[in-house]
Every structure is written in C-alpha cells, then in structure tokens.
Amino acid sequence: MVLRRINNLIFIFIILCSTGFYEFSFLGPIQKVAEIIGVGLIVILLAFNLVYAEQKYIPHNFTLPIVLILFSLLTSMFMAKFSREQAFGDTLYAQRAIYFYALYFLLHVLKIKPRDLTIIFIAFGFIYVFLFLIQFTIYPTIIFDAYVRFERGTVRIYMAGSGYLGIASLITAQNFYRSNRIGYLLMLLLFLMIIVLSGGRFPIALSIFVLSIFFILDRKVKSRFFLMFLGLIAMGALFFAFQNIFEAMLLRSHSDIQLGQDYVRLRAIQFFLTDFFLHPMAYITGNGMFSNNSTYGLEIRNRMLFDGYFLSDIGIFGIYAIYGAFFLLGVVIMIVKAFKLKIESQFFFIKFFFFEIVLGLLTAASLTQSHFICLLVSVLYIADVSNYFNHQQVDILKS
C-alpha cells in the first residue's frame, strides 16, 4: 500500500512538472525548468530500474510507435543543425516536451493501477476547472503565463492540462450513461461549461460530437430514452446560458468561410509543407524543433508575428514539418494499435479518447505538448494492462 501511494505521488509530480506547475506567473524560473525536472526524474527512475529491478512486465504494445517518435528527435535534430545551423544543445532543450513519451515505459515499472489513474485524471480535470474559473473571474488580471484574452464574447483561456478536462468528461459521461446518477451528469455539465467558456469552436463541436457517438455506440447505456431527454434539456440550457459566446463563434466561423483559400490556416499549411523545407531530406527527417535562441527560432517568430502562421494551429501538418516522417509513422501505428486492442468494458472511454485525437489531428498540436503527452502515454498504459487482464480473464479493478 505504501509503495502504491509513493508511485502515485511520483506520477502526480511528473504531471505537475509537465504543466510547468500550471505556469503560474509568480513561479518565474521554476516553471521554466519544471519540464526538465520531470524528464530527469523519468530518466533516473528508468535507469535505476534497468540496473536493479527484476520484474515480470505486462506486454508493451506501444513500444514501436514510441521508439519511432523518440527516434524522430534524433533525425530532426541533425537536420536543424545541417539546414538551419542551430546548435545541438539548443535543439535538445527545445524538444524537451517530447521526452515525456518515455513516461510510458516508467508507468510499466511503477505499475500504477488503472483505477488510480482514472481517479487522478478526474482530479486534474477538477483542478483545471478550479484554476480556469479563478482566472476567468479576476480577468483582466492575469496570473498564468498562458493564452488569456477577451475574444468571441468570453475570456479565452488556454492553460496547460486541458487534456485532463477532456478525458474527465469522457469518464464521467460513461459513468452517467451506465448508471443514470445525477452526480455524474452535474460533473459532466461542469466540464462542458468550461469547454464552452473557453470559446474554442472546434473543442466545443468535437466534445459534443464525440459524446453523442459515445452515447450511440456504448452497449451498456442504461435508459437510453431518458438520457436523450436529459441531454436535450442540458444542451438547451448550455446554449441559452452562453448564447453570446455561441453567436460570436458563429460570426467568426462565417467570416473564416468567406476567406476561402485566403484563410490563414490554409496558407500556413501550404507554407510549412513547401517553402519551409530547405533540404529534400527534411521531408523524411523533419526540420527540427526551433529554439528561441537561434536564427531559426527568429524565423518562426517572424512568421507568427507578421504572417499569422502558427505551427500549433495546423495540427499534424506542423508536427510533420518539425519532426518528420518517423514521428508521423509512430502516431499512425499508435492510433491503429489503440483501436485494435481489446480492452475491458470499464475502459471503453479509451476508444473515444483516441477518436478525439484522430479528429483533432488537423487543428491541434497536442501530441507535442508535454502535459498532453503524459496523459496520452498513461492511457496507452491502461490499454496495455486492460488488454493483458482481458486475455487473462481477470477483473483489472480487483487486481
């Protein structure tokens, strides 16, 4: 029991490091080195286990895709040096977020129970809600070094850790669908309210769409007609409560459609898949992660400031431009494996988590953000454990 709690605390601390301790402005230098601390802890614990531990491991179904992703760091780093003259040290530091993929292997060492992980996910979902509401309430005072500004009829806030809000909504939705307990419905509505308040058109549409598909496909849904009735009431209440936000988003969407080929994201995709590549080999290796201390980083900043080209806005296209074909191949293999693995019913939400990832590939760069990577590899670990015990015909929640 003591070891279990220690391992859980280690995992929680790594999550906090991956968020930069939520980028509180008053933390200053601490938040800037937090990712390095988290990665260092992962490496030290893995090295210690390699030397001293003698344990039987649950099969690692996602070793190949994660190795490919980590290998892409090496190839892209050399291209950044060769074509952009960026020093190896600068690239090693700039790509630090991707090192968190190694947490997948550490989780197999720590052997954290999947039930504990789902509780931690929900807890971090509530932490995100709490911090979001504080920042929302005290705006224009800003306490986070994050994207915070008034747009589309709301205060748009994008803090690290939003992935836990998303997966918490999936877990509570599954629990509500299968139990009809009002407590789960209230938690789900709270999570959805924060997603709406953020003012992101795609996250709102994605959440509602995935939750609807989840409802249709989950075979263990209880009282489907009753839940549909409650869902319509809840969606109507959310719309009328935040009508000004929805109207502002519709106006923005209409103006973006009118731009057609001139829409900034389409122009950004065209640039980062063509003129951005200075060497033909970069289409395989990637161009490498840019450092703020290099001329390469200055080039990227100029594109953001003067052209509005943001790599984070073009999803998998931006990831490919930086890390290349090996990273892309790793992502494809990972997603295919995640959908093919047979897991237990209580972890059915995992399939829809990856469904959200697939739908978000075109517009989100989550797969290169340390806080989301920690969540992603944790879900992969749960899938491994559940698949193993599913074949062993053992209830993982009782193991």
In one-letter notation, the amino acid at residue 340 is: K
CA 12 vs CA 19, 121, 133, 370: distances in Å = 11, 10, 22, 14
Q: What is the pLDDT of residue 269?
A: 87
Comparing 82-86, 99-103, 225-229, 321-325, which segment has the lowest mean pLDDT? 225-229
Closest to 382 in 3D by CA, of 358, 357, 354: 354
pLDDT tens column, 140-189? 888 888 878 777 667 888 888 899 999 999 999 999 888 888 899 899 98
Per-residue burial over 30-53, b if 16 or more Cβ lie within 10 Å, else e, is ebeebbebbbebbeebbeebeeee
- Confidence check: pLDDT of 28 > 80: no
pLDDT tens column, 376-387? 999 999 999 999
Mean pLDDT value of segment 195-204:
78
Q: What is the pLDDT of residue 42?
A: 95
In this structure, are residues 341 and 301 in contact, taking their beta carbons and an 8 Å threshold? no
- Confidence check: pLDDT of 220 > 80: no
Torsion 246-249-251-257 (CA) sign: negative
Q: Give the N- to C-terminal CA distance of the chain in Å, as an integer.
A: 13
Q: How far apart are CA 78 and CA 245, in angstroms?
A: 45
- Confidence check: pLDDT of 53 > 70: no
Give the DSSP letter string of 116-168.
HHHHHHHHHHHHHHHHHHHHHHHTTS--BSSEEEEETTEEEEE-TTHHHHHHH
Give the DSSP letter string of 65-113.
HHHHHHHHHHHHHHHHHHHH---HHHHHHHTGGGGGGGHHHHHHHHT--
DSSP 221: -
Query: Which residue pairs, CB below 8 angstroms and at least 24 apart, start in 112-117?
Result: 112/4, 112/7, 112/8, 112/11, 112/381, 113/4, 113/396, 113/399, 114/347, 114/381, 114/382, 114/385, 114/386, 114/396, 114/397, 115/396, 115/397, 116/4, 116/8, 117/11, 117/378, 117/381, 117/382
* DSSP-derived 3-state class of residue 53: coil
Confidence of residue 398 (pLDDT cuts 50, 70, 90): very low
In one-letter notation, the amino acid at residue 306 is: F
How do beta strands 154-158 and 147-151 pair?
antiparallel
Q: What is the pLDDT of residue 399?
A: 44
pLDDT tens column, 78-108? 999 998 989 999 999 999 999 999 999 999 9
251 vs 320, residue with greater confidence: 320
Structurally, the chain folds into a number of domains equal to 1
Read off the tokens for 367. 């797969």
How big is the chain, counted in residues? 399
Residue 308 phi, psi dihedral angles, 5° rounding: 75, 25
Give the number of other Cβ atoms within 10 Å of residue 9's Cβ: 10
Provide the strand spans (E) within the chain.
147-151, 154-158
In this structure, are residues 285 and 324 in contact, taking their beta carbons and an 8 Å threshold? yes
pLDDT tens column, 277-316? 988 899 999 999 999 888 998 988 888 888 788 888 888 9
Confidence of residue 227 (pLDDT cuts 50, 70, 90): low
For 71, the domain range is 2-398
pLDDT tens column, 238-271? 655 555 655 555 555 545 544 444 467 888 888 8
pLDDT tens column, 115-139? 999 999 999 999 999 999 999 899 8
- With tokens 């800037």, the residue in question is 32
Closest to 172 in 3D by CA, of 184, 160, 189, 159: 184
